[in-house]
Amino acid sequence: MVPDDVAPAAEPGPVGLDLPWATGTFPPDTVAARRAVWDELMGLALHEATHALATGDVPIGALVVGPDGRLLGLGRNRREEIGDPTAHAEVLALRQAAATLGSWRLEGCTLVVTLEPCAMCAGATTLARVERLVLGAWDPKAGACGSVWDIVRDRRNPHRVEVVGGIRDVECGDLVREFFETQR
């Protein structure tokens, strides 16, 4: 029996950070509305990517949005910064999203990343059960989501990921290209 002066426990609320489109259907129903949301999310990923420049890391940014459109995880390349070969933007964003949700299963989630994921990140995306991948620039040298390989849509995988490519591709590609030009 609960004493009268003790309030019942509140139901847990939604997790993650509210974004402007987190109040309705996510992703939106129309192609135009989806395109507008993908464009806005890619802007957030591009902003995160620029923070990698301060540590000499390749400027790639990623974020994970939940099925309700709330921001669950954010990441940028940090391999040079922390000396970890697996510290790619996608892996860090997936880890943060899993911690936010309290589960490694990111079913219904969307991963947004400025450059097509490599084989490691494509595998992590598939294993995390991410529903959708929104990418900026394609990577013709090491891309594993349609360019060189297509791990996320391979029919032999038990889970396949929807791929939406080319969102702000010129801007995303230029950021990486300019980084490597300064390295030469």
Cα 165 to Cα 115: distance, rounded to the nearest angstrom: 9
Tell whether the model's pLDDT for residue 29 goes beyond 70.
Answer: yes
The per-residue DSSP string of 109-166 comes to: -EEEEEE---HHHHHHHHHTT-SEEEEEE--TTT-TBTTS-BGGG-TTSSS--EEE--
Cα 127 to Cα 106: distance, rounded to the nearest angstrom: 9
pLDDT in tens, 132-153: 999 999 999 999 999 999 999 9
Buried b / exposed e along 37-53 (16+ C-beta atoms within 10 A): bbeebbebbbebbebbb
Q: Which residues are catalytic?
A: 90
pLDDT confidence band for 165 (50 / 70 / 90): very high
